[in-house]
Amino acid sequence: MDDNLVVTLFRHGLTFANERKAYLGWTDSALSRKGKEQLSQIADDVQAVFSSDLTRCIDTAAILFPKIPAIKKREFREIHFGAWEGKTYQALQDDSDYQNWLEQPFTRTPPGGENYEKFADRIQSGWEACMDEVMSQGVKRTAIVTHGGVIRYLLMKFAPVERAFWEWSVTHGTGWELTFKTDDLRRGKRCILLQEVHITANHDG
């Protein structure tokens, strides 16, 4: 185990925007009362915590790991939905640009938003910087508190079993623990073990 590094990816708690099923990318929606009540401190030996710089992730990290200040990383933000931020499917369903994006989300870009390629590139950049930092410090267990899309990308890239982006279910109140051989991680290879972790007392997705 000395040559392994464990990275756990946590999705932030439920927000007010999540409760009304609105698109939430860079908009800084706070955790809802339900979201806060569902989360609880994790009894773990995590040595370093990274977080998206948006409030819902920072606050989630503070609840999960109250004794470890989270290092904020803008690179771990959700994709930017542009003009669709804060809007629901019902509000957008008659928008032709939106319907085209639903059909081709990896090649179309939300108006004023971010395309998938830029989204993926910045996640990769943030991931590599964080992994370099923890490996240089001898950290063996670290956590990243972030967003659903970010976690899907990282699972698609590093899970031991290959699955497409949308095949990963990443609900609020869960985390994914990835165990890497350190040399594999340095080479950008997949992890050797993946486990789902529940972080809410009342897991309802």
175 annotated to a ligand binding site: no
Do β-strands 193-198 and 71-73 pair in parallel, antiparallel, or remain unpaired? unpaired
13 annotated to a ligand binding site: yes
55 annotated to a ligand binding site: no
- Per the listing, tokens 């972080």 go with 199
9 annotated to a ligand binding site: no
What token pair was written down for 57?
Answer: 């992730």
User: How many C-beta neighbours within 10 Å does residue 152 have?
Assistant: 21
- 12 catalytically annotated: yes
174 annotated to a ligand binding site: no
- Per the listing, tokens 């409760």 go with 19
- 162 catalytically annotated: no
18 annotated to a ligand binding site: yes
What is the torsion angle, in degrees rounded to the nearest 10, for the CA atoms of residue 153, residue 17, residue 142 and residue 170?
-40
Which of 200, 182, 202 minimizes the C-alpha distance to 142? 182
State the sign of the Cα–Cα–Cα–Cα dihedral 140, 196, 78, 31: negative
54 annotated to a ligand binding site: no
Which of 89, 86, 79, 88 minimizes the C-alpha distance to 110? 79
17 annotated to a ligand binding site: yes
Catalytic residue among 19, 37, 75, 78: 78
172 annotated to a ligand binding site: no
* Separation CA 136–CA 147 (nearest Å): 26
Strand-pairing partners, residue 145, are 10, 51
Catalytic residue annotation: 12, 78
Known binding residues for substrate are 11-18, 56
